[in-house]
Amino acid sequence: MAFVALGQGSAGSATPTKTSRVAFILLAPGLIYLGLFFLTPLVSLIITSLKVSSPTGEIGMYDFGFELGNYAYAIGQYLPQILRSFTYAIIATVMALMISYPIAYFIGVKARNKPLLQAMLLTLVIAPFFISFLLRTFAWKQIFSNDSPVTNFLHTIGLLAPDQYVIGTPFAVVFGLTYNFIPFMTLPIYTSLERLDIRLLEAGSDLYATPAKTFWKVTFPLSLPGVISGTLLTFIPISGDYVNASRDFLGGSDTAMIGNVVEANFFRIQDYPTASALSVMLMAAIVVLVSMYVRKSGTEDLL
Amino acid sequence: MKQGLPQDPMMRQLVLMARHNMTRRAALAGLGGTAAALSLASCAPAGESALTPAADLSDSEKVLTWHNWPLYMDEDDNGNYPTLDRFQAETGIAVDYLLEIDDNDTWYAKVKDQLALGQDIGADVASPTSWLVDRMIGLGYLQKMDDANMPNKVANLAPAYLGNANDPDRTLSVPYQGILGGIAYHKAAFKEATGKDAPTSVNDLWLPELKGRVGLLSEMRDTVGLVLMAQGIDIASADSLTEDAFNAAVEFIAAQVSSGQVFNIKGNSYAEDLKNGNIIAATAWSGDITIINFETESEDFGFVIPEEGATISADAFVIPMGAQHKKNAEALINYYYDPVNAAELAAWVNYVTPVVGAKEVLMETDPDLANNPLIFPDAELLSKTHSFRALTGQEEQRFATAWQNVLLGA
């Protein structure tokens, strides 16, 4: 929704013409799609989040109501998981950025004159998409399992105490989140660096700027659109991710994120109002955080 | 109304359990207007109009879809299911056997909306656990079966399973297997870690040497039930198993989880953690251990009944209102109530079999198995087994929420 609001500025400057009818026809499929597949579930979610327990007391039965208390209950009950989600999301996004930027820079700038190398490296970045991320996460679960060579090695060199293990720890979850979302960070940064005019860098050094200064004054600002869309493409899905932190994958008993709480409330205890309230709040929190972030970085027009 | 108790100790125990259920329900109804209304409401179907069974297409369509648990069917080296294959050959009914139930809650959450509307849930027959079956009966989600199509069931169903308040003659739900909840462990790893040959009590799971290597079942009634019994609570009694006692046990487990003692809390997939060495001991279901040993081609894993007691429950065949192949499902149930087939199944799944005569069949082919108390429990073992008491809808909601919060690690 933030994107819609932010987009209005530029869209409003175009004056309507007699082609508006055509425009409307062209827009119609998109509008119908949004109405059906975004607004309908959203409204249904908000209605569910306000429901009250059925007087029969049967599990999973709820009546229509206007129970704002569901929101207070959800926050009171699940604040640790809410905070944990955003903490994990921020850490994983920063990690992904720090890993992705050099890769993207190398592929987009340094490897520019070697098309074969560039294509091969890009393939390496994209290749993981060829396998379902569930399977890849499951593979990491095997790699990090308690009796695996990796874990045994970590025990041998003393990095892990004998009663410490990798699976089920916050480290494993953040690792999984970072790993799974790196391509979403690398590709947008690569696309903006790919267009970077090398002559600007040469101009920088001609004017006696150090390489670091050239980077921060020229390269980085020019790649900012990629960085911004990369961070959004990773931060938003990571906040709501429930696979990596799930106990069936890399998570443990103390790593549940909002997605896991929503899943448990929906599928295990059939507490639909609480699950819906959490979903609505997650969405609202992301909209607020993202619009603050976009404003702060002064890049409204870049989106 | 009271009848004499049967001689057979297992039956005696099970009859007592069934009676206990009945008296509790009767007491609830007697509490007055609200309670009566409440129990009425829980018996009446949820919607305005009662659900009706879907038209039975069994005569024209020789197909059947079955939702069952993993590790719950005899299997040969090639991954075929011999008894199920023979059923298909004998009857010409093609069975789509799906391992859809990993956990009662998650399975129910997936199918409950179709159940409530009386629509096809994608299964003609399913085998969830008794407490969930009770809920489904109360909500009017299940078709009544025709005993005339199941002569073996009429002849061979252990009488102890009759007389349930919701389903006295077992026409809404037919037991598939009885389940004991106890402790599974890796023999060598347990010995190496603790110096003991085998766990004897649920409290052995909290030994510091096992830190981070303990698994728990996500099934509330089994895991919390075992812990409650270790704390001296009678889980079958409403006086002993109060909400305070339940919450205390849940808090105790939560402390074990946050201290890192517990590695993970899972459904049937705990078997994977045992196999790949993530955990050394776990609360577990009695029959799984045979298949875990079979799959790892070893005798590495063992199962014990804790000295404080084990939980007992049963999974039962049910036919949802929307199922279109009731007669085919009845044929399947009838088939598994033939003592020969039941014995073959029991020899593999190693759960408590509800079929009378299976023990005699096994006695001839495999006396060791026939004398295995985990399949045919003796009096001594049965005296240690208890089933989790019935919960009201609101209790269920509160208990389940408290338990779920442990799983989410608040």
Residue window 244-303, chain A: list those with CB within 8 Å of chain B. 247-248, 252-256, 260-261, 264-271
Supply the mean pLDDT for chain B: 85
Please give the residue that has the higher pLDDT: either B267 or A188.
A188
Q: Determine, yes or no, domain membership for B5.
A: no
B397 contacts A271? CB cut-off 8 A: yes
Q: Determine, yes or no, domain membership for B160.
A: yes
> Average of pLDDT values for A260-286?
91
- Whole-prediction pTM value? 0.77
CA distance A40 to chain B (A): 19
CATH number assigned to the domain covering A75-302: 1.10.3720.10
- Side-chain-side CA neighbours of residue A226 (13 Å): 25
> Average of pLDDT values for A120-148?
89
| Cβ-nearest to A247 among B41, B106, B265 | B265
What's the distance, Cα to Cα, between the start and end of chain A in Å? 13
Residue window 28-47, chain B: list those with CB within 8 Å of chain A. 38, 41-42, 46
Judge if B63 and B130 occupy the same domain: yes
Put simply, whether A82 touches B (Cβ < 8 Å) is no
Residue A162 to residues A165, B213, B375, Cα–Cα distance (Å): 8, 11, 38
**B100 pLDDT tier (thresholds 50, 70, 90):** very high
Put simply, whether B263 touches A (Cβ < 8 Å) is yes
pLDDT at B25: 36
Counting the structural domains of chain B, the total is: 2
- Spatial neighbors of B290 by CB under 8 A, at least 6 apart, are B348, B349, B350
Helix (H, G, I), strand (E, B) or coil at A64: coil
A268 contacts B400? CB cut-off 8 A: yes
**A303 pLDDT tier (thresholds 50, 70, 90):** very low
- Spatial neighbors of A50 by CB under 8 A, at least 6 apart, are A64, A65, A66, A67, A68, A70, A273
> Average of pLDDT values for A89-114?
94
**B159 pLDDT tier (thresholds 50, 70, 90):** confident
**A160 pLDDT tier (thresholds 50, 70, 90):** confident
**A301 pLDDT tier (thresholds 50, 70, 90):** low
B48 has a pLDDT exceeding 80: no
Distance between CA atoms of A270 and B77, rounded to whole angstroms?
Answer: 40
Contact A167, A141 (CB under 8 A): yes
Put simply, whether B259 touches A (Cβ < 8 Å) is no
pLDDT digits (tens, 9 = 90+) for B52-85: 999 999 999 999 999 999 889 988 888 899 999 9
B165 has a pLDDT exceeding 90: no
pLDDT at B402: 93
Specify the CATH number for the domain of residue B75. Answer: 3.40.190.10
Residue B317 β-bridge partners: B174
Of B63, B124, B57, nearest to B92 (Cα)? B63
Q: Which two three-digit tokens encode residue B363?
A: 């006695």
Judge if B284 and B397 occupy the same domain: yes
Q: Determine, yes or no, domain membership for B17.
A: no
Judge if B263 and B403 occupy the same domain: yes
Q: Which two three-digit tokens encode residue A8?
A: 């209005």
pLDDT at B49: 67
Helix (H, G, I), strand (E, B) or coil at B183: strand
Judge if B323 and B403 occupy the same domain: no
Put simply, whether B300 touches A (Cβ < 8 Å) is no
Put simply, whether B139 touches A (Cβ < 8 Å) is yes
For residue B228, the tally of other CB atoms under 10 A from its CB is 27
> Average of pLDDT values for B364-371?
88
| Cβ-nearest to A58 among B42, B257, B263 | B42
Best of A61, A140, A268, A278 to disrupt the B interface (most B CBs within 10 Å) is A268
Q: Which residues of A touch B207 (CB under 8 A)?
A: none
Judge if B347 and B305 occupy the same domain: no
For residue B214, the tally of other CB atoms under 10 A from its CB is 25
Residue A138 to residues A85, A179, A180, Cα–Cα distance (Å): 21, 13, 12
pLDDT digits (tens, 9 = 90+) for A15-56: 555 667 888 889 999 999 998 999 999 999 999 999 988 887
**A89 pLDDT tier (thresholds 50, 70, 90):** very high
Burial B77-93 (b: 16+ CB within 10 A, else e): eeeebebbeebbeebeb
A256 contacts B409? CB cut-off 8 A: yes
| Cβ-nearest to B264 among A57, A80, A168 | A168
Q: Phi/psi zone of residue A48: left (φ > 0), alpha (ψ -120 to 50 degrees), beta?
A: alpha
DSSP E strand stretches across B26-76: 63-67
Judge if B109 and B202 occupy the same domain: no
> Average of pLDDT values for B232-250?
92
Judge if B183 and B166 occupy the same domain: no
Say which residue the tokens 């903006």 belong to.
Answer: A192
> Average of pLDDT values for B138-160?
92
H-state helical runs in B30-74 = 33-43
Between chain A and chain B, the number of residue pairs with CB atoms below 8 A apart is 110
Please give the residue that has the higher pLDDT: either B123 or B212.
B123
DSSP E strand stretches across B34-103: 63-67, 94-98
Distance between CA atoms of B278 and B214, rounded to whole angstroms?
Answer: 8
Put simply, whether B397 touches A (Cβ < 8 Å) is yes
> What is the sign of the dihedral through the CA atoms of B193, B196, B201 and B207?
negative
- Spatial neighbors of A216 by CB under 8 A, at least 6 apart, are none
Put simply, whether A44 touches B (Cβ < 8 Å) is no
Supply the mean pLDDT for chain A: 87
Judge if B255 and B295 occupy the same domain: yes
Residue A82 to residues A19, A35, A279, A286, Cα–Cα distance (Å): 47, 29, 11, 12
One DSSP character per residue, B185-234 reads EEHHHHHHHHS-SS--SGGGGG-GGGTT-EEEES-HHHHHHHHHHHTT--
Judge if B229 and B120 occupy the same domain: no
Residue A98 burial (C-beta neighbours within 10 Å; 0-12, 13-18, 19+): exposed
Q: What DSSP state is assigned to residue B118? A: T
Chain center to CA of B380: 21
> Average of pLDDT values for B321-342?
95
pLDDT at A162: 77
B277 contacts A147? CB cut-off 8 A: yes
B171 has a pLDDT exceeding 90: yes
Please give the residue that has the higher pLDDT: either A143 or A12.
A143
B2 has a pLDDT exceeding 50: no
- Spatial neighbors of A260 by CB under 8 A, at least 6 apart, are A81, A242, A245, A246, A251, B408
Judge if B196 and B304 occupy the same domain: yes
CA distance B212 to chain A (A): 7
Candidate from A263-272, A291-300, B193-202 with smallest mean pLDDT: A291-300
Distance between CA atoms of A197 and A109, rounded to whole angstroms?
Answer: 9
A261 contacts B212? CB cut-off 8 A: no
Distance between CA atoms of A9 and B191, rounded to whole angstroms?
Answer: 70
Name the residue range of residue B108's domain. 51-178+314-367
Q: Determine, yes or no, domain membership for B12.
A: no
Residue A262 to residues A42, B110, B397, B403, Cα–Cα distance (Å): 15, 15, 16, 15
Q: Predicted ipTM?
A: 0.75
Put simply, whether A146 touches B (Cβ < 8 Å) is yes
Q: Determine, yes or no, domain membership for B195.
A: yes
pLDDT at A4: 41
CA distance A166 to chain B (A): 10
pLDDT at B330: 96
**B102 pLDDT tier (thresholds 50, 70, 90):** confident
pLDDT at B77: 83
Judge if B67 and B168 occupy the same domain: yes
pLDDT at A292: 87
The one-letter amino acid at B68:
N
Judge if B284 and B398 occupy the same domain: yes
Distance between CA atoms of B50 and B140, rounded to whole angstroms?
Answer: 7
Contact B355, B158 (CB under 8 A): yes
